[in-house]
A and B are shown apart, each in its own frame.
Chain A
Amino acid sequence: QQPVQSPQAVILREGEDAVINCSSSKALYSVHWYRQKHGEAPVFLMILLKGGEQKGHEKISASFNEKKQQSSLYLTASQLSYSGTYFCGTPRDAGGTSYGKLTFGQGTILTVHP
Chain B
Amino acid sequence: NAGVTQTPKFQVLKTGQSMTLQCAQDMNHNSMYWYRQDPGMGLRLIYYSASEGTTDKGEVPNGYNVSRLNKREFSLRLESAAPSQTSVYFCASTPPRITGNTIYFGEGSWLTVV
Binding site for B on A (CB under 8 A): 2, 30, 32, 34, 39-44, 47, 87, 89, 92, 96-107
**Is B13 in the interface zone, CB < 8 Å from A?**
no
Contact A47 B105 (CB under 8 A): no
Which residues of chain B come closer than 8 Å to A92, judged between CB atoms?
45, 58-59
Partner among A87, A97, A101 whose Cβ is within 8 Å of the Cβ of B33: A101
Which residues of chain B come closer than 8 Å to A89, judged between CB atoms?
42-43
Partner among B40, B42, B59, B94 whose Cβ is within 8 Å of the Cβ of A100: B94
CB under 8 Å from chain A, chain B span 56-114: 58-59, 90, 92-94, 96-97, 101-108
**Is B2 in the interface zone, CB < 8 Å from A?**
no
Partner among B42, B92, B105 whose Cβ is within 8 Å of the Cβ of A2: B42
Smallest CB–CB gap between A103 and chain B, Å?
7
Q: Can you list 23 A-B pairs, Cβ within 8 angstroms, ordered by A? A: A30-B101, A32-B101, A32-B103, A40-B107, A40-B108, A41-B107, A41-B108, A42-B105, A43-B105, A87-B43, A98-B49, A98-B50, A99-B101, A100-B92, A100-B93, A100-B94, A101-B58, A102-B103, A104-B42, A105-B42, A106-B40, A106-B42, A107-B40
Which residues of chain B come closer than 8 Å to A101, judged between CB atoms?
33, 45, 48, 58
A41-B105, A92-B45, A98-B31 are known; give 17 further A-B pairs, CB within 8 A: A2-B42, A30-B101, A40-B107, A42-B90, A42-B103, A87-B42, A87-B43, A96-B50, A97-B97, A98-B50, A99-B94, A100-B33, A100-B94, A101-B33, A101-B48, A106-B42, A107-B42
